């Protein structure tokens, strides 16, 4: 509930300084997309507690049919931002995929900056 209230407050502040864009609406709907037989999918996400400076990470891996392969959660101390928490989530996801020796894996996360960084060749 607290996170929801903060998000609404941040949105109102953003709209105050940048104006409201009433013409556009955003509708997000996602469905499981079946992968080729050799592929798996790794979803990861993070949470961050600003007051305590800690974060948590969750990772789930599924095979091409959507069946469970592996999952992991972990906590991290000294997390200074939500971006750092998301970076840690991507790191944990990569280590879990490596541990399970999965060669062809699609990574999915909700932090655009982190996903862009994962896709960058340099």
Q: What is the pTM of this model?
A: 0.72
Q: In sequence order, which residues have a C-beta less than 8 Å from that of residue 105 and are 6 or more positions away? A: 39, 40, 41, 42, 61, 97
Asked if residue 11 is part of any domain, the answer here is no
Asked if residue 12 is part of any domain, the answer here is no
| The predicted structure's pLDDT at residue 68 | 95
d(CA 67, CA 44): 16
How many structural domains are present in the chain? 1
Which domain, by its residues, includes 115? 30-119
* DSSP per-residue codes, 33-84: -PPPTTEEEEEEEEEEETTTTEEEEEEEEE-TTS-EEEEEEEEESS--SHHH
d(CA 1, CA 79): 21
Residue 39 sits in a domain of what CATH number? 3.30.420.10
Asked if residue 22 is part of any domain, the answer here is no
Helices (H) and strands (E) in the chain, counts: 3, 4
pLDDT digits (tens, 9 = 90+) for 4-54: 667 777 777 777 777 766 555 555 566 767 788 899 999 999 999 999 999
pLDDT digits (tens, 9 = 90+) for 62-81: 999 999 999 999 999 989 99
């Amino acid at each position: 509930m607290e996170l929801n209230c903060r998000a609404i407050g941040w949105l109102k502040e953003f709209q105050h300084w940048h104006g409201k864009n009433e013409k556009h609406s955003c509708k997000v709907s996602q469905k499981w997309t079946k992968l080729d037989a050799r592929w798996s999918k790794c979803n990861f996400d993070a949470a961050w507690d600003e007051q305590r400076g800690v974060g948590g990470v969750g990772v789930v891996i599924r095979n091409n049919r959507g069946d469970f392969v592996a999952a992991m959660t972990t906590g991290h101390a000294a997390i200074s931002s939500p971006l750092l928490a998301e970076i840690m989530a991507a790191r944990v996801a990569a280590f879990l995929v490596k541990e399970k020796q999965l060669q062809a894996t699609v990574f999915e996360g909700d932090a655009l900056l982190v996903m862009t960084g994962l896709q960058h060749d340099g």
